[in-house]
Structure 1
């Protein structure tokens, strides 16, 4: 009797996985339902039921009755009437090219031909004078400034050097005088004269400069207002001056609030 061959671990792992009981293949529909369709089709898919309006909306757009398909070739036969047709005057006008502006001048060529009159023309004396280059005279540079051309001696005529101004110009050239009460600013430090240093205050100034003497039993409150000041009444003139200007007085707005 043959002995049973013991299975190896690799043989157990190589066996395919067994399908569970009640397994069914994936449905061909793109969606998933919890229960089978009520009316399964021939291939097991759901059979949809549409209304007449839904069926009409799902249909293709009808083609126009006058629509003609594309021509099979860009070359087609032209009818005899089209060959013998004559365009109206309006079509002829529209088919004509656009005219240029009356002042339009075409571009000149790069090489232009000079006329014989221009070649033999002679300029006037004024044009020759304007065509000459401007000449400048040498600047009278000072001898001590030979290397600086921006400094030169101003040529002042002898008549200008010996000229005398009028009395009016002489008066205008005088500086403005100070006010008769003008005083020059005093220096920061100045000397005090001997009379001021040796001056002695008079008896009256000494009395005014001495502080008020009070006894040690006298209590003085500088912030206490006297009874006379408390009961004082301003005069009618003071009341008039203290009142605000009438044009700057604004009445308060009274809002009509209802009482509860």
Structure 2
């Protein structure tokens, strides 16, 4: 079963003579499909969508400034002359009411009928108070005109040198990047007042480095110094016994000693079953 499944699948007869790049179909078409005639519905769906102007359809409405006086993009003349499609006219028609809606409608006219009691009733004082329009705040000021009228004398006045100097924008130097100077020079310019300043007692106390814990031990050297007493020491018998490695029996003793495993006579005379012989054979790959 495994050898049968391992064989590659045979290609179909329709694919044997197929060549990439030709105009032949991959799947063979039946004679009925070749001689079939499409329905009118399929013919209408097969017609491409009418495209008046592809570039015109991709434009946004704000280019023509709809509702404004000026336009950003000049509208082409054929847009105003072009007639809508029948499909567009059909979709532009308003939705008609159904007959069931008119049957369940309580009135025949869109105007509501007002009862006689509602026409002859007198409004209460609260209703008349709520009917008054909201008054404008006394501190409200109307919007001023955008254009300010400049007098002729203001136009003829010459600005003072002080006014012209104040009218100039303030120049700010970029303090993020400084010109590279000598290596011994400072990165940022330090004013003379900061160089002559004297630090207070609190600043000096904060400037001190954090001390090391009294229990801290420095890192020892890689080479340890052995004392003379350690060099003259004599090993005791107990230390010699403990220093010997632990002996462990290896699981593959037959590799070193063929007689490590003893086989019984009954095991030598035993006959393997057909099942064991079949399992003992190597697997074919």
State the TM-score bracket (shorter-chain normalisation): under 0.3
**Bigger Cα Rg:** 1
TM-score by length of 1: 0.24
Structure showing the higher helix proportion among its residues:
2
